[in-house]
Structures are given as structure tokens and as C-alpha cells.
């Protein structure tokens, strides 16, 4: 046993004698001479480390560095694209689901350009925008706080300048309340008035909000506020904006059950009515689901004055003497059209109906010069 100890000491002394720290720093800090000592990323220093993109760095280090895993699924994006587990339909090197949200207007995880190219979405006017995103939009409007709310008080509300509702898609009425709404007997009623109902009220909507059953004492949640989507009191079909107002103005009334005390909460009782629905944008003024420009180009609707708006959406045309191009004004263009038929018997330009386009017709045109509504 003693012999073995002497042997070890002897070897250690001999190794120390062969390494001079003053001449060789590796004697006291081996990492100074080993490039792999603190290298946890390079594949050359870490044999067997995964390197799916072949960039010489382990996948772990690529992921830790950020910017390589846009969908945060733990796999480097370029490897997903290479092995086909992720899509890049437009070949920009970015996984489709990670693209700019502004290029995916319908939120289906594909760039709009790919939807159009694959025939998944229409682009009838070939402007690079999906038709469905041009012609429709979610509309959110709400009233200012209406109060006080409680027995003895009834308030009216109005939504004005509403874009026309599409013939499909949901409509939703909801409320935020603050007041004596802490038991199921304390109910808010909302009556939406259908314009032009015949008989009156036949298509009106009646909805209500009641707080959920409380846990504990009834008074524990009073004045804490609440709200939600209105429940239906009418025909069981829910609120349909298309039945009550096809755009323009929507009016209604709000009241409560007899149990609601308007003086509770130090008199600070109110309700906010919110409306949310699927509307047609100005690109689909008649709300038929087709872009106006494509309707006009295909001949499905008329645009007599060539202003890019279907005539059915224009202000009613004024029959205006001398307005040959139906621009709703008599101006130089109309004069040019008149002069182009000078001396002929063109009936459409013969304002005095004497059988010849001449000076009398010019005089009549100048007498009507200007906007047709003047």
C-alpha cells in the first residue's frame, strides 16, 4: 500500500516538473488552450448535437438565439420548410402562419396572394386584395353611458350612420351595466324598434339582461358592474340587424324590472348598449356580396354616369337639360358633345327640337350651366 502511494506521488511530481505555468498557461487554465472548453454551440465541439439546417451550430443554440422559430414550436423554421412540415406558399422563406397579419386579411393562416393564386379566394378586380375583405367588415358601435337606470326610468338610444348590413353573418347586441343588478329578479330590458313595421312592432326585438345567480348574499355584488350578450324575449331567433334596420339608423329603448333601484350605488347607475354586426363596406354599396367594380364590369348593374358606383347606390339622378354625359352637371364636356354634333339632326342633343343642332341649342345649354341640383 505504501509503495502505491509513493508511486502516485512520484508521477505527480514528475508531471508538475514537466509543465511550467510561466511558460505555458495551459498548466493552470486548460480552457485557454482548448477552443471547445466553453463552446456549447458548435457541432465540431459537440459531436452528435442536432444541426438540421447544417449551419454548424446546434439547433438548441439557434433556437435560443431567437428569430429561427417564428411559430415557437421548438423546430427551426428552415428545417420545417425543408422537410415539408410547414408551408411557404409564396416562397419568401417565412412560414405562412408567421407572415405579416396585414397580408392575411381573412385570418386563415395563408397569405392573401396564395389564397388568390390557389383559387381559394376571389379577386375579381385583380388588385391583389381578397374580394371578401374588400366588401365586408365587422362594425362595432356603442352608446355613451345611459342613466339613471332603474324603476321609473326609461331611456331611448339611437345608432346613426350605420353601414348597410350584409345578408349573412351574425349580429349581436350586448350591454355593460352598473347599478342594482345583483339578483336574477333585477332585469334590464332592451327594445329595438323596427322602422316601418306593419303593423307597428311586428318585427321589433325584445332582449334582456339578468345577472347570474350570486354566490353568497344578494347584496354582495351590487354596483360591481356586469354585462353580457342580451338574451332573447321575442321569437327565439336572437337579434338580427337585417330584420330591424338595413343600414342607416337604429333606435331602441331601455328599461328595467320593478326590482331595480335607481338610487343605489349613490345614484351612479347606467348602461352602455353595444352593437356588433357584419357590414358591407363602400366597395359593396348594395350589400349583395359582390364588389361594385366587378358588378359594373360584368354588366350585372348599371353605372350610367361612369362614376364607379352602381346607380342604385347613387343619389337619385336629376333630369337635367344639357347633361349629356349624366354627370349631374352641365359643363365643358357637355358643350364638347353638343359641338361634335353641330349641324346634324342628332335628336339626343337637339335641345330646341328644331331638327338641327345649332346656336339655339348652345344657348339652351348655357342657360342650364352648372350643377343640376342648383
**Dihedral angle computed from the Cα positions of residues 47, 49, 54 and 59, in that order, rounded to the nearest 10 degrees:** -150
Going by C-alpha positions, the residue among 120, 62, 60, 63 that lies closest to residue 96 is: 120
Interatomic CA distance for residues 88 and 114, integer angstroms: 9
Q: Which of 202-206, 208-212, 339-343 has the highest mean pLDDT?
A: 339-343
- What does the pLDDT average to over 39-62? 85
Strands 270-280 and 329-330 come out as unpaired
Residue 363, pLDDT score: 93
Residue 224, pLDDT score: 60
Q: CATH second-level architecture of 139-280?
A: Sandwich (2.60)
pLDDT band at 232 (very low <50, low <70, confident <90, very high): low
Interatomic CA distance for residues 345 and 281, integer angstroms: 45
Q: Which of residues 355 and 91 earns the better pLDDT score?
A: 355
Interatomic CA distance for residues 364 and 115, integer angstroms: 56
3 state DSSP class of 252: strand
Residue 195, pLDDT score: 58
Q: Which of residues 71 and 41 earns the better pLDDT score?
A: 41
Evaluate if residue 2 carries a pLDDT over 60.
no
Percent of the chain with pLDDT over 90: 10
Going by C-alpha positions, the residue among 235, 148, 215, 218 that lies closest to residue 188 is: 148
Q: Which of residues 279 and 258 earns the better pLDDT score?
A: 258
Evaluate if residue 264 carries a pLDDT over 70.
yes
Predicted TM-score of the model (pTM): 0.46
Evaluate if residue 266 carries a pLDDT over 90.
no
Strands (E), 114-219: 136-142, 155-162, 171-178, 188-193, 205-209
Going by C-alpha positions, the residue among 207, 156, 211, 152 that lies closest to residue 179 is: 211
Residue 169 to residues 139, 238, 279, 280: CA-CA distances in angstroms? 12, 13, 9, 11
Residue 359, pLDDT score: 92
| Per-residue pLDDT reduced to its tens digit, 359-372 | 999 999 999 898 87
- Phi, psi dihedral angles at 238 (to 5 degrees): 80, 175
Q: Which of residues 171 and 220 earns the better pLDDT score?
A: 171
Q: Where in the chain is the domain with CATH 2.60.120?
A: 139-280
pLDDT band at 30 (very low <50, low <70, confident <90, very high): low
Q: Which of residues 250 and 213 earns the better pLDDT score?
A: 250
Evaluate if residue 105 carries a pLDDT over 50.
yes
Residue 4, pLDDT score: 39
Q: Where in the chain is the domain with CATH 1.10.1330?
A: 329-371
| Per-residue pLDDT reduced to its tens digit, 121-165 | 777 777 777 777 766 667 788 899 999 999 999 999 988 877 766
Does the domain formed by 329-371 have CATH 1.10.1330? yes
Q: Are 230 and 209 in contact (CB under 8 A)?
A: yes
Residue 54, pLDDT score: 86
Q: Which of residues 209 and 25 earns the better pLDDT score?
A: 209
pLDDT band at 316 (very low <50, low <70, confident <90, very high): low
Going by C-alpha positions, the residue among 133, 117, 126 that lies closest to residue 297 is: 126
**Dihedral angle computed from the Cα positions of residues 236, 241, 243 and 244, in that order, rounded to the nearest 10 degrees:** 110
Q: Which of residues 7 and 189 earns the better pLDDT score?
A: 189
Evaluate if residue 169 carries a pLDDT over 70.
no
DSSP string for residues in 325-346: T-SSEE-HHHHHHHHHTTTS--
Mean of per-residue pLDDT scores for the chain: 75
Residue 156, pLDDT score: 92
Q: Which of residues 48 and 99 earns the better pLDDT score?
A: 48
Percent of the chain with pLDDT over 70: 71
pLDDT band at 103 (very low <50, low <70, confident <90, very high): confident
Interatomic CA distance for residues 43 and 56, integer angstroms: 5
Residue 197, pLDDT score: 45
Amino acid at each position: 500500500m505504501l509503495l502505491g502511494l509513493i508511486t502516485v506521488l512520484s508521477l505527480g511530481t514528475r508531471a508538475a516538473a514537466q509543465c511550467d505555468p510561466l511558460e505555458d498557461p495551459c498548466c493552470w487554465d486548460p480552457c485557454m488552450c482548448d477552443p471547445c472548453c466553453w463552446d456549447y454551440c458548435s457541432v465540431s465541439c459537440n459531436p452528435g448535437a442536432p444541426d438540421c439546417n447544417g449551419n454548424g451550430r446546434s439547433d438548441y443554440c439557434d433556437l435560443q438565439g431567437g428569430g429561427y422559430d417564428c411559430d415557437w414550436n421548438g423546430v427551426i423554421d428552415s428545417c420545417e420548410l425543408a422537410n415539408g412540415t410547414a408551408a411557404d406558399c409564396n416562397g419568401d422563406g417565412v412560414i405562412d402562419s408567421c407572415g405579416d397579419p396585414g397580408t392575411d386579411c381573412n385570418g386563415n393562416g395563408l397569405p392573401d396572394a396564395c389564397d388568390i393564386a390557389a383559387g381559394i379566394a376571389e379577386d375579381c378586380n385583380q388588385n391583389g386584395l381578397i374580394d371578401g375583405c374588400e366588401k365586408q367588415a365587422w362594425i362595432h358601435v356603442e352608446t355613451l353611458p345611459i342613466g339613471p337606470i332603474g324603476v321609473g326610468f326609461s331611456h331611448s338610444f339611437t345608432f346613426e350612420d350605420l353601414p348597410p348590413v350584409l345578408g349573412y353573418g351574425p349580429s349581436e347586441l350586448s350591454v355593460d351595466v352598473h347599478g342594482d343588478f345583483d339578483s336574477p329578479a333585477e332585469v334590464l330590458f332592451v327594445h329595438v324598434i323596427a322602422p316601418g313595421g306593419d303593423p307597428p312592432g311586428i318585427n321589433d326585438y325584445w332582449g334582456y339582461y339578468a345577472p347570474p345567480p350570486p354566490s353568497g348574499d344578494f347584496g354582495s355584488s351590487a354596483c360591481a358592474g356586469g354585462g353580457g350578450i342580451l338574451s332573447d324575449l321575442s321569437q327565439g331567433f336572437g337579434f338580427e340587424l337585417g330584420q330591424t334596420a338595413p343600414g342607416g339608423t337604429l333606435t331602441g329603448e331601455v328599461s328595467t324590472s320593478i326590482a331595480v333601484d335607481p338610487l343605489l350605488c349613490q345614484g351612479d347607475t347606467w348602461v352602455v348598449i353595444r352593437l356588433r354586426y357584419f357590414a358591407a363596406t363602400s366597395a359593396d354599396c348594395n350589400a349583395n356580396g359582390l364588389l361594385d367594380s366587378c358588378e359594373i364590369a360584368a354588366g350585372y348593374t348599371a353605372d350610367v354616369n361612369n362614376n364607379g358606383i352602381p346607380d342604385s347606390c347613387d343619389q337619385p339622378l336629376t333630369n337635367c337639360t344639357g347633361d349629356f354625359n349624366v354627370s349631374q352637371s352641365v359643363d365643358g364636356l357637355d358643350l364638347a358633345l353638343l359641338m361634335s354634333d353641330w349641324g346634324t339632326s342628332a335628336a339626343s342633343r337637339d335641345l330646341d327640337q328644331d331638327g338641327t343642332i345649332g346656336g339655339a341649342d348652345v344657348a339652351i345649354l348655357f342657360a342650364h350651366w352648372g350643377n343640376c341640383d342648383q
